[in-house]
Amino acid sequence: MTTQKMFGTDGVRAPVGMEPMTPQTIMRLAHACGQLLSRQHTGLNPRPVVAVGTDTRGSAPMFEAALQAGFSAAGVDTVMCGELPTPGAAYLTRLRGYQAGVVVSASHNPCEDNGVKFFSATGDKLPDGMEAEIERTMVQPMVCLPSSRLGRVSLLPEASDLYIQFCRQALPAGLHLQGMKIVIDAAHGACHRIAPEVFRQLGAEVVAVGATPDGQNINDNVGATSPKHLSEAVLAHQADVGVALDGDGDRLVMVDSEGRIYAGDELLYVLAVDAQTNDGLQGGVVGTVMSNQGLEQALLRRGLDFARSAVGDRHVLELLKQRGWRLGGEGSGHLIGLDWHSTGDGVMSALRVVAAMKRSQRSLSQLCSDLRMNAQCLVNVPVTRGAGMADNTWMPHFQLRAEKLLGDDGRVLLRASGTEPVVRVLVECRTALRAQRMASRFAKEVSQLLTAPAALDTATA
């Protein structure tokens, strides 16, 4: 069994059939997790209970079965929830008092990938220490318990309906969506039925797109990673606003009635101003090292503190808890409002943005009118899995040189992705042209470094 680190910034993820996303390894992963849960279990139920949900990928049933087998062999009961967004699994885990929640999903990645995300009993992502302990346990031989001690399997057919009722609570009391026409792009993912139903129940006229999954089309030129699709649909249907989610429903991108796209940083600003105005925002706002400086400056002008975490919604959440704050997010569209959920939730965040529009009687464009965003250009440099990813000592040297080249005009950030085999090169400048030119230049240099060991040694000397 390999000892290579399996967990990235958002669970375990890889192309289907490549380690660790093989049924054998996922079964061992569940077994190792189940052993830890069994050792820690003190509940009234004789065995720990884990909720399992999936997105709409064709490979999901295979990994769902592998998880069930691994947990059962370790003496852990599984509650199978069927297709369910990631934040839905987190909610049901807390609601029913389960010891953990698991989602089979590769989030915004293409259908060829899949992954596994874990939640603790409190609906939070697993702490780093427990992930490390699971990986250490996987090295040990897998031993199946006797038949009398195996975990049992049950179904929760009402899982989606329970989550729909929960999502509705994100809309503040006294508000409704009657008279609004909203396009929802569910990325052919786990929200394909849930998201349109939530908005319909709250009174909106809903046009659903990206809502016919076939097992292969998840995130395929639709959803939060391809917002042009939503923009075109909003204009075609003359809608008031558009909502784009990703495959597992924890990301959000929105479009106004003019077809303009609003990403995570802009939506986070809308949420922060609305909370400051109407709800007495507690503390400041957490972004990440990739958050636009324009967002930071706009919040500071409003007297709101801003702090940056490492990339990943789990790191945003950790910093929120450290500061005792309630609101944070990423430019990618992961938005966390601890007043309404324990984790990032695309549907609930969209409801809060729409609530901000309703409470202020202003459009998205008007709500962002005093937000001056810098131009950002992000280039993903593909690398062979593992190559240049484990040893990133070259990055600080490279970044220092890049910052000197940029001068006072902007900033540069390099990071190895925790979810994909790429190094991300982000350049932020006052003008889009310069950001694009410098990002292209730095990306080419990074690619050369990662494919030329001699050059890499020189750069890190």
For the stretch 173-193, pLDDT in tens is 999 999 999 999 999 999 999
Residue 45: what pLDDT? Answer: 83
Residue 1: what pLDDT? Answer: 43
Residue 452: what pLDDT? Answer: 55
Identify the residue whose tokens are 């600080």. 396
> What does each C-alpha distance from 244 to 99, 257, 361 come to in angstroms?
31, 14, 22
Torsions phi, psi for 397 (to 5 deg): -65, -45
Residue 69: what pLDDT? Answer: 98
Q: Alpha carbon 67 to chain centroid distance?
A: 21
Q: Catalytic residues, which ones? A: 107
Preceding peptide of 157 cis, ω within 30°: no
Is 246 part of any known ligand binding site?
yes
Band of pLDDT at residue 450, cut at 50, 70 and 90: confident
Residue 394: what pLDDT? Answer: 85
Is 409 part of any known ligand binding site?
no
Rounded CA separation 180/24 (Å): 48
Give the pLDDT confidence of 205-220 residue by residue, as tens digits: 999 999 999 999 999 9
What value does the mean pLDDT of the chain take? 93
* pTM recorded for the entire structure: 0.90
Give the pLDDT confidence of 60-73 residue by residue, as tens digits: 999 999 999 999 99
pLDDT (average), residues 23-38: 97
Lowest mean pLDDT among 2-16, 368-382, 405-419: 2-16
Is 185 part of any known ligand binding site?
no
Give the pLDDT confidence of 376-396 residue by residue, as tens digits: 999 999 987 555 444 578 888
Is 248 part of any known ligand binding site?
yes
Query: Contact 259/246 with Cβ under 8 angstroms?
Result: no
> What does each C-alpha distance from 56 to 11, 60, 65, 212, 396 come to in angstroms?
18, 7, 15, 10, 40
Residue ranges, CATH 3.40.120.10, the chain: 12-157, 159-371
Rounded CA separation 93/70 (Å): 19
Count of alpha carbons within 13 Å of 267, Cβ hemisphere only? Answer: 35
Architecture of domain 159-371: 3-Layer(aba) Sandwich (3.40)
Residue 182: what pLDDT? Answer: 98
Rounded CA separation 328/116 (Å): 24
Give the pLDDT confidence of 89-139 residue by residue, as tens digits: 999 999 999 999 999 999 999 999 999 999 999 999 988 899 999 999 999
pLDDT at 228 over 50: yes
Band of pLDDT at residue 4, cut at 50, 70 and 90: low
pLDDT at 140 over 60: yes
Residue ranges, CATH 3.30.310.50, the chain: 375-459
% residues pLDDT > 70 (the chain): 95
pLDDT at 457 over 50: no
Rounded CA separation 158/136 (Å): 36
Name the CATH topology of 375-459. TATA-Binding Protein (3.30.310)
| Conformation bin of residue 4: beta by default, left when phi > 0, alpha when psi is -120 to 50 | beta
Name the CATH topology of 12-157. Alpha-D-Glucose-1,6-Bisphosphate; Chain A, domain 3 (3.40.120)
